[in-house]
Amino acid sequence: MPHLLSTIRNQIPLTAYAYRGEEECCNLCGSRDRLTVSRTDRRLKTLKTVACEQCGLIRTDPMPTDAELDAYYAGEYRLDYQFAFSRKPPRFHLTRSQREAEGRLALLAPALEGRRRVLDFGSGSGEFLALAAGAGHDVQGIEPGQSFASFAREKYGVPVESRVWQEVAFEAGRFDVITANHVLEHLREPVSALRRMAEWLAEDGILHVSVPNALGRRRHSFQHFHFAHVYNFTPQSLLWAGLVAGLEPDPRFAQQGTTLVFRKRKAGAAVPVWAEGEGSRVAAHFEPSSPLRFLLSCRWIVDALRRFRKVAGDSWARA
């Protein structure tokens, strides 16, 4: 019953989420100095988001605890975020996931010659694993969401560890290719997760990371933020996160915004030096805008209809 009450409360605009959280320092540089960039999220609910003054990494403040995030994922996350009313992934999600997996496999082709050992960190419903297995690679997934992990195992016959990454123990150097697609922004310790992935990577392996770009174009600054995204990256802070985790960009792949392909950092290569004023530059991107004015403008109805049309289109695609 407490879950149901918090689920209902979390659907009401202009109110706060049912969470207390805790004060955290920046997971990238350790600084506690921060600038507020937004007090609202894309559901028009109260949610304070800050940018680290030193490195510009954006985070929710206060940070939800593991227990609070678990409660959110167990309750309204699938409904709120993915329109999923049953435990099976909805059709529009599978269409999008398939499309994304095809693009990811094509992007990583230079590192996928021969039979490679591939890990998908946050493998979701398993479309990338299925494609990579079909191309002859040895695949492994990690997916903490039980229903999506079961779906991947049953539909595609791919191996998926259904646990949080801290509980997974692979030996060092186990994988040639690791991908983490739209995962880091959900983690309370994204840099520690990158460090762990770097350990699992073979000496000549690659690590592909893609996250939403917090500096991407949105009509209102609050439309970037979501309760499940506890960290938000810029191209610069994602690059620094990789460097801190012992990685460097692989020169075969150009950085595309917040999509980066790393390799293990060679001895003596540059380590990050924070650019002075980075936090202020990031914060300046988020101009204050009024969620109440947005609500009264009825513009949100147009946005909701557009979103519904996309969902409907992807639901009926490839029927």
In the complex with Zn ion, the residue whose CB is nearer, 32 or 306, is: 32
Q: Please, what is the minimum distance in Å from the beta carbon of residue 233 to Zn ion?
A: 11
Residues 188, 230: Cα–Cα separation, whole Å: 7
Contact 53, 35 (CB under 8 A): yes
Which of these ranges, 53-61, 74-82, 95-103, 107-115, lies near Zn ion under the rule CB under 5 A?
53-61
Vertex 237 angle, CA 125 and 195, to 5°: 60
Q: Which is nearer to Zn ion, 28 or 160 (CB)?
A: 28
Of 23-52, binders to Zn ion (CB under 5 A) are: 26, 28-29, 31, 52
**Burial profile 54-79: b = 16 or more Cβ within 10 angstroms, e = fewer:** bbbbbbbbebbeeebbebbeebbbbe
94 belongs to the binding site for Zn ion (CB under 5 A): no
Classify 202 as helix, strand or coil: strand
C-beta of 100 vs 189, nearer to Zn ion? 189
Q: How far is the CB of 55 from Zn ion (least distance, A)?
A: 3
Nearer of residues 54 and 179 to Zn ion, judged by Cβ: 54
Per-residue burial over 202-228, b = 16 or more CB atoms within 10 Å of its CB, e = otherwise: beebbbbbbbbbbbeeeebbbbbbbbb
Shortest CB 51 distance to Zn ion, Å: 9
User: Given the complex with Zn ion, which of 34 and 220 has the nearer CB atom?
Assistant: 34
Chain residues that interact with Zn ion, rule: CB under 5 A: 26, 28-29, 31, 52, 54-55, 57
